Chains A and B, each alone.
Chain A
Amino acid sequence: MVDLHDLNRPGVKCTWCPGCGDHAMLSALKKALVMIKQDPEKTVVASGVGCSSNLPHWINTYGFHGVHGRGLPLAYGIKSANHELKVIITAGDGDTYGEGTGHYIHALRRNVDMTFICHDNQIYGLTQGQASPTSLKGTISKSTPYGAIEEPFNPLMHALIADATFVARAYAGNLVQMAEIFAQAIAHKGFSIVDVFQPCVSFNKVNTFDWFKERVYKLEDTKYKPNNKFKAMEKALELGDKIPIGIFYKEEKPSYHDKLPQLKNSPLVKKKIDNVSIKKVMEELF
């Protein structure tokens, strides 16, 4: 039986700033894994680089802390080698929506059975406060001293357009709902993406906990049903005075690795490679 203690890593110091939304995300992730009874030895948390991407060090699963923006392709390789593993990618808005945007779009359309969780704080934290792709227009930062002039990247709209099969947003100020969304996302068979509003207490003085508290509302409290892509897009565009959180869209489709006949009987990693015969393929070249 999995319990929270088994997922903790006592003695390994967490280096996130006090008050950072990341702490709640880590707790919610552990809680979600317990909720779905996920074996931590069959779980891999992969990441790129950034505050978000340090998370694999503080959860007692397998982990791979890779390079900036490349958590998604790394995770694809991990899953392809052993599709019996649960693979979770923790990423940041600069990491995936900036450095690794190309990988994001293609991961969405592949429907690999993995869960992508973005610590979206609308700022670069670890590099000390530059505007990120999700920074609001007008954001004053070290790299945009005159105010950001680009439109912010809308991760959920992109997810919907690229045919992701589970699209959700959570808010780090609501740990209980966030854990439930994570649990559903991880249990979902196919690619799930959860963008999390995660206020950066050190460098984002605009999109604070208070700022979100005034704006966010839960989709589950309304009559909204996450089964219509067009309606989901309408909700994904709702980024004004009221901002929805919850599951925007969900559909069941065969996952990427379900479509690969060579994986039908067992994962690649369990197949024997000691005595591969190439006689037949050499004869094809006669």
Chain B
Amino acid sequence: MTVEKNRLVLKIGGEAGYGIMSAGQAFAKLCTRAGLFAYTHTEYPSLVRGGHNVFAIRVEEKDIKCPIVQVNLLVALNKQTIEKHKDELTHAGGIIYDGEEVNIDELNIRPDIKLFNVPLLKIVQEAKGIKVMRNSVSLGAAMAVLDADFKLLKESITSAKKKSQKVATIMEQNIKVAKEGYDYIKNNYPEEFQVKLVPVLKQPKRMLLTGNTALSLGAIKAGCQFHAQYPMTPSSSILHYLVSKEHEFNMVVKHAEDEISAINMAIGAGFSGVRSMTATSGGGLALMTESVSLAGSSETPIVIVNCQRPGPGTGLPTRQGQEDLKFVLNIGHGEFPKVVVAPGDTTECFYETFNAFNLADKYQLPVLIVSDKHLASCNETIEPFDTKDLKIDRGLLLSNEEAKKQEDYRRYKVTESGISPRAIPGQKNCRFRASSDEHDEFGDIEESIQNRVDQMDKRMRKMDLVLKDIPVPKVYGPKKADVTIVSWGSTKQAILEAMEYLKVDGITANFLQMMYIHPFHSAFVKEFLESSQKVVLIEGNKTAQLGGIIRENTSFEIKHQILKYDGRTFFPSTIYDQIKEIHKNG
């Protein structure tokens, strides 16, 4: 048997409350610190206790940016984990389980699979620990199966914040049981496993973070000082992260009483001159819609994040979907300028959030960032973001000195660009009213025909400038290719990896990533698609929403579609299989 080095997927499964997430997180962290790249992916039902949770960690020496289906080592804290995931195991993969809880003989395990029967519960009980510590025992066992240095795990456990003596004691206990799990494998299963984990030395220090944390960092870097949110999966971790940093970065972060309140708070703060944001998921965004329109009519800069999950209704609260694109594009009653951007990976979550604040300020409008559960919750190993070229642009926001010089200040002055110089409360000589009602240049209610047309035209004119400011869609791969893939959002990295698989088979593919979706670069997209060979649309929804938007803007109809609406994420292998099929059948 050839033993591979540092190329594996470890999957931990069990009921909610078994410590699956924290164990998986610890493993991803230790791999990152060992100079490797980790990408985590979790599936869990909307439950606090019970149900079936899994946390998979893909590890490689090269930069990886999406999860894959195959598993090398399955850590099963219950029987269900084996039943559901044994078929994902690679040839000669392994299962760590507790033979006292699981009768492995009745589970029909393939003969090539290596079985590691570890008395997880007994080890915990003998150490007088609590049941949840089975996660540490199994992690210790996994480290031994992978022939890794136990020190890596020990450091990972001890690096967590020790808030109290109690926490420190629990940590020690966890290390103790983990070591027993480790020794148990070393003593009872000395033979080599198919893959080893070996630190890669002298690597630059790298972060391990989710898209939501990257997005929060983007907001902090952009000088966002106000964030209001109501918790909703999968957006809540933005609230958690930002509130933990509110003192350090001079922010007010508010858990509002509901989403309507959250967005109105953010609009109030934006009006008063600080950069402000709110975040939610589809249902919460539905509550916010009226006020998104208010931000449009009052020309208040604000950033709104929608971490999508599948609907309709409560839908699949903890699962993956891309079903809100048309909703976000059409959000709010009436017509008003807005920007819609869909970052495709963790890195883009950071940079596009930073840019969103600049766009909101420059064009005085709401910017909607469309993320999803996949981006929100998958952890990725990344080098620290390069921030040296990030420049804050507050557009026509008046300084106190400029405000003082104003005579006859008009907040909604009709200008050629459509953008009017913006004063904020507290400044001299600029008293004005922002208004939800149609208003004149001073912000006062005015319903005359000429004023209505002038103000509508002024507001909408800003979109011409936005279109010139936002980048055209990015094209990956060769200019001419057998297959052209079109997609948006979190499918990006699975597509890029699938393209590598296709290349091996001699099929060339390129990929048009639609990141800025509103306003829409019609001419560019039309020309690109019309000069492409075989165009395939990939989306995480039932109705091919981006396909419809492309048709509306370019008259180009994409016939081949790979649509996924099962509440799960795209894996590169499924994209590869389906594109092969489309390529073969013409």
Contacts and interface: CB of A to CB of B under 8 A. Distances in A.
A273 interface: yes
Nearest to A109: B257
A42 B205 contact: no
Interface string A66-94: 11001011111111111011000000000
Contacts of A77: 226, 228, 264-272, 276
Interface string A36-57: 0000111110100100001011
Given A106-B261, A274-B223, A60 B431 contact: yes
A1 interface: no
A269 interface: yes
Nearest to B357: A273
Interface in B435-461: 435-437, 443-445
Interface residues of B, number: 68
B298 to A, nearest CB: 7
Interface stretch (B16-24, B213-221, B310-318): B213-221
A69 B117 CA distance: 62
Contacts of B436: 49, 65-67
Contacts of A72: 261
A281 B228 contact: no
Given A42-B426, A102-B261, A74 B267 contact: yes
Contacts of A269: 225, 272-274, 424, 426
Contacts, number: 195
Nearest to B384: A282
A233 interface: no
A64 interface: yes
Contacts of A44: 272, 425
A286 B252 contact: no
B291 A67 contact: yes
A67 B213 contact: no
Interface string B251-266: 1101011101110111
A80 B424 CA distance: 14
B189 interface: no
B475 interface: no
A62 B225 CA distance: 21
A278 B387 contact: yes
A78 B426 contact: no
B425 A54 contact: no
Interface stretch (B133-141, B241-249, B534-542): B241-249
Interface stretch (A167-175, A182-190, A200-208, A257-265): A257-265
Nearest to A280: B248
A243 interface: no
Contacts of B387: 278
A82 B207 contact: no
Contacts of A42: 425-426
B269 A78 contact: yes
Contacts of B319: none
B257 A103 contact: yes
Nearest to B247: A262
B260 A73 contact: yes
B52 interface: no
Contact of A74 (B248, B257, B264, B427): B264
Nearest to A64: B434
15 contacts: A67-B294, A70-B264, A73-B264, A74-B271, A77-B228, A77-B270, A80-B254, A82-B426, A102-B261, A261-B247, A262-B251, A268-B274, A273-B225, A274-B223, A285-B207
**What 10 A-B pairs come out closest when comparing CB atoms?**
A77-B268, A273-B223, A81-B272, A285-B207, A63-B433, A62-B425, A73-B264, A77-B269, A77-B265, A73-B261
Given A64-B433, A73-B261, A271-B250, 11 more contacts: A41-B426, A49-B436, A105-B257, A262-B247, A269-B272, A274-B392, A282-B217, A282-B385, A283-B384, A285-B207, A286-B32
